[in-house]
Amino acid sequence: MMKKVVLLLLLLLVFQAHAKSGSMKLLAVSNGDTDPKGSIADLELEIKEGRGRIFIDSFPLSRLDTQISTRFAKEVACNFLEADCSRLDFFYTIRANSALIGGPSASAATTILTISVLGDIPLDKDTTITGTINTGGIIGPVGGIESKVDAASKTGLKKVLVPKFSQLNLSNISEYKEKYKIEIVEVSQLEDALQEMTGREFRTAAEISVSSYYIETM
């Protein structure tokens, strides 16, 4: 009996040793009765040995486009690291105060967190990003940037990465920096965002093929 207990404990330790996890802050916009307000969500990821499956646990509920963009972000991350993810399961957990989690604006952050956990690369916890992830590792534009910068500042974050291909101009960025007392950096490519988040230089992202279903849904 004692041998079985010891064996079970050893198996549990081996299983836990193969699990990887990480977390980061997400920037969101909550739709209230008046003007939209910026809010913070928590994104957690745990990777375990498995069969290439993706699980998304979100509260409040997430829309279909969020679920699809999360799956695409995982594919971009695996391709970026040239990693075989077919024998790994990905468990994403999102917790937010907004009434509904929707849109692909967190997909760049999801990609970066996945690369971080998968590649054992530490992230700067004082930095976050808002933006979509697109083919070729391009960081795409999103809305509500000022509201998100405001939320980041109030939460104590020090730096926000925003898409270079957005409606912001230099005067907007200077205004937001002064108003919210936070560093704002424009990024256009995944490797640029990774360098800001990790302090490391990365090669150019591999070309990612995008399914027609993803394009139509987004």
Asked if residue 197 belongs to a domain, the reply is yes
The CATH number assigned to the domain holding 138 equals 3.30.230.10
Domains: count for the chain = 1
Q: What are the pLDDT tens digits along the chain (218 aa)?
A: 565 444 445 444 544 556 899 999 999 887 655 677 888 999 999 999 999 999 999 877 666 678 899 999 999 999 999 999 999 999 999 998 765 556 688 999 999 999 999 999 999 999 999 999 999 999 999 989 999 999 999 999 999 999 998 878 888 999 999 999 999 999 999 999 999 999 999 875 444 444 443 444 44
**Does residue 109 lie in a domain region?**
yes
Cβ neighbours of residue 39 closer than 8 Å, sequence gap 6 or more: 27, 28, 29, 30, 96, 97, 98, 151
Residues 6+ apart with CB under 8 A from 153: 180, 181, 182
Q: Kindly report the CA angle at 143 between 28 and 37, in degrees rounded to 5?
A: 45
Q: Which of 58, 98, 148, 153 is catalytic?
A: 148
Asked whether residue 3 is assigned to any structural domain, the reply reads: no
Give the SS3 label for residue 211.
coil
Task: Please tell me which residue in 105, 107, 147, 153 is annotated as part of the active site.
Answer: 105
105 is catalytic: yes
The reply to whether 20 belongs to the active site is no
**Domain enclosing residue 75, as ranges:** 19-211
Strands, sheet with 183-187, edge to edge from the N-terminal-most edge strand: 127-129, 159-163, 183-187
Residue 47 lies in a domain: yes
pLDDT digits (tens, 9 = 90+) for 46-96: 999 999 999 999 877 666 678 899 999 999 999 999 999 999 999 999 998
Residue 142 forms part of a structural domain: yes
| Most distant CA pair in the chain, distance | 72
- Tell me whether residue 71 is in a domain: yes
Proportion of the chain in helix, strand, coil states, percent, rounded to 5: 40, 25, 35
pTM: 0.83
In a domain, 216, yes or no: no
Main-chain phi, psi angles of 152, to 5 degrees: -65, -45
Question: Is residue 27 included in any domain, yes or no?
Answer: yes
